[in-house]
Every structure is written in C-alpha cells, then in structure tokens.
Amino acid sequence: MAAATGPRTARSEDGEVDAVQLTPHEQERLLIHVAADVAAKRRERGLKLNHPEAVALLTSHILEGARDGRTVAELMASGRKVLTRDDVMDGVPEMIPDVQVEATFPDGTKLVTVHDPIV
C-alpha cells in the first residue's frame, strides 16, 4: 500500500478534527503562496516590493503556471513579465539575477530558471 502524500488531519481523543497536518514541503509551498498574495496586494496599493516579496511573487507565478500545465519554456518567458523595475524597491533587480524553482508539472518535477526576471 502506498503512503499518503497529501494533507492529513489530526483527530483529538473525542474524534474531532483538530488541524490539517502538512509536510515540510507543503508548508513551504503554502508560505510562498501566502507571501505572494501579500506582495500582490501591496503592489496593487502602489507599494514597491522588497526582495522577499518579489521572489515570492515570481516563485508563485512559476508554481501556479506549472500546475496549470504550462511548459518550462513558457514559464521562463512569462517569468520575465511578472515584475518591472517600477514594481520593486531600488536595488532589488540586481539582487535577483535569476530565480530557480523546482515545480511539479503534469509529467513530473522540473527545474525552471528565469534569468533577469525583473526588467
């Protein structure tokens, strides 16, 4: 029998569901998406993004694109259109020469590299 790989729930002694238990990998992905959501809302308010916010937004774009079935080549190209220099604080583009994300595609896990993601 295969081991469960998705989110699990914990039950208390009275049988009530207490919480969803995520693997460290799932926790990391969730944190990325939450940070990207915060970054997107800040950008919508006209705030310039800092380094962690920019990386989160770029990473989430790649993860979601892979989930949607886009190709590595498509994500490498579209990853350069997510943010502009006007979207981020001074110096941030130079701090992110490339972004590498290990994303799950329909045919397996692949490394997506976006060079110079902020133009």
Domains in the chain: ranges and CATH: 18-115 (3.30.280.10)
* Residue ranges in the chain assigned as alpha helix (H): 24-44, 51-67, 72-78, 92-95
- Which pLDDT does position 8 carry in this prediction? 60
- Which pLDDT does position 117 carry in this prediction? 99
Q: Is residue 114 packed enough to be buried (19+ CB in 10 Å), middle (13-18) or exposed (0-12)?
A: buried
pLDDT in tens, the chain (119 residues): 445 566 565 666 777 766 889 999 999 999 999 999 999 999 999 999 999 999 999 999 999 999 999 999 999 999 999 999 999 999 999 999 999 999 999 999 999 999 999 99
| Host H or E run for residue 78 | helix 72-78
